[in-house]
Structures are given as C-alpha cells and as structure tokens.
Amino acid sequence: MSSSASSTGGEATGGFTEVVIVRHGETSWNASRIIQGHLDAELNDIGRQQAVAVAHRLSKEAKPVAIYSSDLKRAAETAQTIARICNVPNVVFDPALRERHIGDLQGMKLQDAATERPEAYKAFMSRKRNQQIPGGGESLDQLSERCVSCLYNIVEKHKGERVILVSHGGTIRELYRHASPTKPLHCKIHNTSVSVILVSDATGRCIVKMCGDISHLQETGVLENAFGGDKTSA
C-alpha cells in the first residue's frame, strides 16, 4: 500500500479506514516531567480515571473492530480499559507503537538533561530528523518509519473499518506529521487525547479528521505541563 499522504480533500473512489488514536493516561513520571521513552511507568490514579473517561466516550461512538496498543504498561492499561468498556474482546499489543527511544535521557528529569547529558540533550533537541540520540535512542526518521509502517499494516487488515490505536505523545506526533505533512501540529497531545485519521483503502492517502481532542476530560482534568514525548513539550 502506498504511504503517500495528504491532509486535504477526499478520494474519488473507495472507502476509508477510520483510525482513532489515543494517547495513554497520565503517569507519575508525566507529572514529574521525567523522560520515559521505552521505560515502563504505570498509570497513576488520575491516569486511570482518564482512561475510564476516554473509554466511556468511545463506547458512545461506533464500536471498533479491533484495538491495538503499545506494549508499554501505561498504554496497555489504557487500551485494556477501553476494550473492557467498549466490549472489545482483546487488545493486540505491538512494540511498533511504543514511544520514541530517547537513549541516555530516559529516566531523567527534563530540567536536568541539558547539564547532565548535554550530548544526548542536544541530539534530542536537534531539528535534524536523522539525528539519533546517544545511548541507543532513535532518530525521528526511525520512529516515523516504524510507527507509520505499523499504521499501514493495521489498515491493510481492517479496510473500511474503525480501529483504535493507543500510543504515546512522540509517536502520535509522527503519525500526524505523516498524515498532514504540510500543516504543522498546533494542538497539544495531552494524556488520553483523541485524534482521528482517515486512511484511504485505495491509495493510502490520509485525512486528519480530529486532533488532540480532550472534551471527555472536563471532570478529570489534564496536566498542562506534562512531558509529552518530544522537544515541543519541553
């Protein structure tokens, strides 16, 4: 399937797969602005409340045929909550939906990274998309390649259907960038925010239908200054 993308216009023929993309609920590390990457922090109490809130929201919409999730605990628990409340029998876990590996910065507070790991911090803040982060970290191009490939593998299995993906801030930003390469992302990807991308079954072209919606969090609230997976949340 082609992976070319566009954010405007519809398709002349063929249907779309509706991909609902949810960021995981809040963790204590989000609240402390600790860089998580591939480290496996669990949801905190607020995160669990957020997961229930987004699950109830999604349960009132068209039922998904499948739920896919990063295998990291914070995403997995969010996905399992959605599956339970939406009455979807199981969740498919895929490491390709994980957050960006942030190398030597993982487990550090963002405010300390610049002084304690200056080389890794400089790489993390770099605008070069092929810049890997010391300590085994991924470049943005590597992150994009794995998560976009995963998106199209899922779409290939569910043409014309509705699926839910539960992932992470940096990864969701790369999916958005692929779907809308000429329109910068202006919204924040808060914990349990909902984004929707329509993917043409015929051509693989994408249309962004919704981005970063948190209307379901009016009671639970959202952490405005949480670290969200990439340099834009610093």
Asked if residue 106 is part of any domain, the answer here is no
Between 191 and 7, residue with greater pLDDT: 191
The pLDDT of residue 150: 98
Please identify which of the residues 24, 158, 168, 216 carries the catalytic annotation: 24
Residue 187, pLDDT score: 82
Percent of the chain predicted with pLDDT > 70: 88
Residue 117 lies inside a defined structural domain of this protein: no
**pLDDT tens, position by position, 121-168:** 999 999 999 999 999 999 999 999 999 999 999 999 999 999 999 999
Any domain includes 55: yes
Q: Look up 174 and say whether it is catalytic.
A: no
Classify residue 178: in a domain, yes or no: yes
**How far is Cα 130 from Cα 120, in angstroms, rounded to an integer?**
14
Which residues does the annotation place in the binding site? 23-30, 74
The 3-class SS string of 13-69 reads: CCCEEEEEEEECCCEHHHHCCECCCCCCCCECHHHHHHHHHHHHHHHCCCCCCEEEE
Write down the catalytic residue from 18, 38, 77, 99. 99
99 is catalytic: yes
- Which residues contact residue 145 at a Cβ distance below 8 angstroms, ignoring those fewer than 6 apart? none
Question: Taking 80 as the threshold, does the pLDDT of residue 221 lie above it?
Answer: no
Alpha-carbon distance 226 to 166, whole Å? 18
For tokens 């981005």, name the residue: 211
Task: Classify residue 222 by its DSSP letter.
Answer: -
Backbone φ and ψ of 103, nearest 5°: 55, -135
Look up tokens 């960038």; give the residue. 177
Residue 51's nearest CA partner among 29, 69, 64 is 69
What would the pLDDT profile of 17-69 be if each residue is shown by its tens digit? 999 999 999 999 998 889 999 999 999 999 999 999 999 999 999 999 999 99
- Report, in this order, helix, strand and coil percent for the chain, each rounded to 5: 40, 15, 45
Range of the domain at 37: 16-101+138-219
Check residues 49 and 224 and name the one with the higher pLDDT.
Answer: 49
Instruction: Give the residues across from 22 on adjacent strands.
Output: 166, 194
Residue 88, Ramachandran bin (φ over 0: left; ψ between -120 and 50: alpha; else beta): beta
Q: What is the pTM of this model?
A: 0.89
Q: Kindly indicate the confidence band of residue 3, based on its pLDDT and cuts at 50, 70 and 90.
A: very low
Using the predicted structure, report yes or no on whether residue 105 has a pLDDT greater than 80. yes
The token pair at 128 is 């070069």
Q: Is the pLDDT of residue 196 over 70?
A: yes
Is 9 inside a domain boundary?
no
- The number of domains in the chain is 1
Domain membership flag for residue 78: yes
Is 119 inside any structural domain? no
**CATH code at 70?**
3.40.50.1240
**pLDDT value, residue 186:** 80
170-196 burial, b for 16+ CB within 10 Å, e for fewer? Answer: bbbbbbbbbbbeeeebeebbbbbbbbb
Binding site for substrate: which residues?
23-30, 74
Looking at residue 229, its pLDDT comes to 54
Q: What is residue 53's predicted lDDT score, i.e. its pLDDT?
A: 97
